[in-house]
């Protein structure tokens, strides 16, 4: 067993042998100019700041032998998995599926849907394409976690209050103990990140725990 004594709202006890790291949507479409995030009017530079921290967390997980699972929010080229309500949401300057500077926005196989090169998955690591904000919806994530015997999940990625929080809530309802790496996640809106972090660990950890990457890495050594 391992323990992160400084986790909030209280110490996080976990068995590294049944823990996985999930890195949510660290894709060019969210982090680089010209992608989906920018098309929604967001300043993407905020998200770039966490890249070294996410890289350090991934390395700590790999060194400890944890499975590292990467997700990508993207849709099939024929848009058959894209509900019109999602495509038209917010009247973005470029809609999902439209051609942009990094290929078609949020479409599987296009350069924009790729995970950023700094955080490239290793060949043996699981990479899941997901059409929703949550990573359990319409993906084989639950099957992978069952096969791997995973009971605890560590979360990183973007954005905190959208895909990261949605996936944590899905995982929490499925019985996983969920820990968010607070400095390895980011939002386009600082106030939303702060609120999401607080609400996750409020009420005695109603959704899960939070801790910093250095604390997690120490516990994994």
Q: Is 81 a catalytic residue?
A: no
Within residues 130-159, the interface with ligand TIU by CB under 6 A covers 133, 158-159
The 17-46 site mask, x for binding ligand TIU (CB under 6 A), equals: --------x----x---------x------
Burial of 111 (0-12, 13-18, 19+ CB in 10 A): middle
Confirm or reject binding of residue 73 to ligand TIU (CB under 6 A): yes
Minimum CB separation from ligand TIU for residue 21, in Å?
A: 16
Interface size with ligand TIU, residues (CB under 6 A): 10
Catalytic residue status for 178: no
Residue 127 β-bridge partners: 70
User: Residue 199: CB partners within 8 Å, gap ≥ 6?
Assistant: 206, 207
Tell me the C-alpha distance between 176 and 90, whole Å: 33
Closer to ligand TIU by CB, 161 or 183: give it: 161
Structure tokens belonging to residue 96 = 């999902």
Residue 25 or 110 having the CB closest to ligand TIU: 25
> Judged by CB, which is closer to ligand TIU: 29, or 183?
29
Q: Is the Cβ–Cβ distance between 114 and 27 less than 8 Å?
A: yes
The rounded Cα 143 to chain-centroid distance in angstroms is 18
Is 163 one of the binding residues for ligand TIU (CB under 6 A)?
yes
Note whether 67 and 21 are within 8 A (CB).
yes
CB of 56 to ligand TIU, least distance (A): 21
Rounded Cα–Cα distance for residues 112 and 85 (Å):
22
Q: Are 163 and 134 in contact (CB under 8 A)?
A: yes
- What DSSP state is assigned to residue 118? G
| Two structure tokens written together for 181 | 């790496």
Among 22, 66, 150, 162, binds ligand TIU (CB under 6 A): 162
Please identify, using beta-carbon distances, which residue of 24 and 177 lies nearer to ligand TIU. Answer: 24
Round to whole Å and give the CA distance between 97 and 27: 16
The pattern of x and - marking residues 76 through 95 that bind ligand TIU according to CB under 6 A reads --------------------
Q: Of the listed 29, 114, 130, 183, which one is catalytic? A: 130
Query: Which C-beta is closer to ligand TIU: that of 186 or that of 215?
Result: 186
Active site residue 193: no
Positions marked catalytic:
25, 130, 163
Q: Which residues bind ligand TIU (CB under 6 A)?
A: 25, 30, 40, 73, 133, 158-159, 162-163, 188
């Amino acid at each position: 067993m391992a323990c992160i004594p400084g986790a909030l709202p209280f110490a996080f006890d976990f068995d590294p042998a049944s823990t996985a790291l999930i890195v949510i949507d660290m894709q060019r479409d969210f982090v680089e100019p010209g992608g989906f995030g920018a098309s929604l009017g967001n300043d993407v530079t905020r998200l770039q700041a966490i890249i070294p921290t996410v890289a350090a967390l991934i390395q700590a997980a790999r060194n400890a032998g944890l499975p590292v699972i990467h997700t990508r929010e993207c849709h099939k080229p024929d848009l058959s998995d894209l509900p019109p309500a999602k495509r038209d949401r917010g009247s973005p300057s470029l809609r999902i599926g439209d051609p942009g500077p990094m290929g078609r926005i949020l479409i599987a196989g296009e350069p924009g849907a790729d995970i950023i090169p700094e955080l490239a998955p290793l060949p043996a690591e699981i990479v899941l394409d997901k059409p929703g904000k949550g990573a359990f919806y319409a993906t084989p994530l639950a099957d992978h976690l069952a096969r791997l015997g995973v009971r605890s999940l560590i979360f990183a990625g973007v954005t905190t209050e959208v895909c990261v929080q949605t996936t944590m809530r899905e995982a929490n309802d499925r019985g996983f103990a969920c820990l968010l790496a607070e400095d390895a996640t980011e939002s386009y809106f600082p106030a939303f990140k702060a609120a999401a972090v607080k609400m996750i660990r409020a009420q005695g950890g109603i959704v899960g725990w939070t801790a910093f990457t250095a604390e997690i890495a120490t516990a994994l050594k």
